[in-house]
Amino acid sequence: MASNGALDARERGALLGRLATERFDVLVVGGGVTGAGTALDAASRGLRVALVEARDLASGTSSRSSKLIHGGLRYLEQFDFKLVYEALRERDLLVSKLAPHLVKPVSFLYPLYKKVVERPYVGAGLVLYDSMEGTRRPVPRHRHLTARGALRRAPALSPDRLAGAMLYYDAQVDDARHTLTVARTAAAHRAVIGTRLSAVGLLRSADGERVTGARVRDEETGRVLEVSADTVVICAGVWTDLVHELAGVQAGYKVRMSKGVHVVVPRAAVDSDTGMILRTEKSVLFFIPWGEYWIVGTTDTDFSGDPAEPVASEEDIEYILAAANRVLARPLTRADVIAVYAGLRPLVDAATGNGGKQNGAKPTTKLSREHVVDVPVPGLASIAGGKFTTYRLMARDVIDAVVPAIGREVPGSVTDQVPLLGADGLAAVQPAAGRLAEDYGVSRAAVEHLLGRYGTLATEVLDLIRSDAGLGQPLAPGYPYLRAEVAYAVVCEGALHVEDVLVRRTRLFIESADSGVSAAADTAAIMGRLLGWSRRRRAAETRRYLDLVQAERATPAVSSVPAPGLALAAAR
Ligand X SMILES: Cc1cc2nc3c(=O)[nH]c(=O)nc-3n(C[C@H](O)[C@H](O)[C@H](O)COP(=O)(O)OP(=O)(O)OC[C@H]3O[C@@H](n4cnc5c(N)ncnc54)[C@H](O)[C@@H]3O)c2cc1C
- Which residues are near ligand X by CB under 6 A? 29-35, 52-55, 59-62, 64-68, 70, 198-199, 235-239, 243, 260, 298, 343-346, 386-389
DSSP SS3 for 203: strand
- Nearest approach in angstroms of CB 14 to ligand X is 20
- Nearest approach in angstroms of CB 175 to ligand X is 7
DSSP SS3 for 201: strand
Q: With respect to ligand X, which residue has the nearer C-beta, 61 or 515?
A: 61
Rounded-to-integer distance, Cα 53 and Cα 157, Å: 43
- Nearest approach in angstroms of CB 461 to ligand X is 25
- Nearest approach in angstroms of CB 142 to ligand X is 19
- Nearest approach in angstroms of CB 130 to ligand X is 19
Q: With respect to ligand X, which residue has the nearer C-beta, 75 or 479?
A: 75
Q: With respect to ligand X, which residue has the nearer C-beta, 195 or 542?
A: 195
Q: With respect to ligand X, which residue has the nearer C-beta, 198 or 456?
A: 198
DSSP SS3 for 160: coil
Q: With respect to ligand X, which residue has the nearer C-beta, 44 or 61?
A: 61
Q: With respect to ligand X, which residue has the nearer C-beta, 164 or 343?
A: 343
In this structure, what are the phi and psi dihedrals at residue 382, rounded to the nearest 5 degrees?
A: -145, 155
Strands (DSSP E) along 349-379, which ranges?
371-377
Q: Which residues pair with 183 in a beta bridge?
A: none
Rounded-to-integer distance, Cα 128 and Cα 324, Å: 27
Rounded-to-integer distance, Cα 312 and Cα 309, Å: 10
- Is it true that the peptide bond before 542 is cis, omega within 30 degrees of 0? no
- Nearest approach in angstroms of CB 512 to ligand X is 21
- Nearest approach in angstroms of CB 316 to ligand X is 11
Q: With respect to ligand X, which residue has the nearer C-beta, 340 or 450?
A: 340
Query: Residue 544: which H helix or E strand, with range?
Result: helix 535-553
Rounded-to-integer distance, Cα 227 and Cα 212, Å: 9
Q: With respect to ligand X, which residue has the nearer C-beta, 62 or 523?
A: 62
Q: Which of 515, 500, 509, 506 is nearest to 564 (CA)?
A: 515
- Nearest approach in angstroms of CB 110 to ligand X is 16
- Nearest approach in angstroms of CB 103 to ligand X is 11
Q: With respect to ligand X, which residue has the nearer C-beta, 201 or 556?
A: 201
Report how far apart the first and last C-alpha atoms of the chain are (Å, whole number).
45
Rounded-to-integer distance, Cα 570 and Cα 552, Å: 16
Q: With respect to ligand X, which residue has the nearer C-beta, 59 or 523?
A: 59
Per the rule left: phi > 0, alpha: psi between -120 and 50, beta: everything else, 74 is alpha
- List C-alpha distances in Å: 106 to 251, 274, 355, 420: 39, 8, 42, 20
- Nearest approach in angstroms of CB 440 to ligand X is 34
Q: Are 369 and 375 in contact (CB under 8 A)?
A: no
- List C-alpha distances in Å: 18 to 217, 221, 267, 286, 464: 15, 17, 47, 44, 28
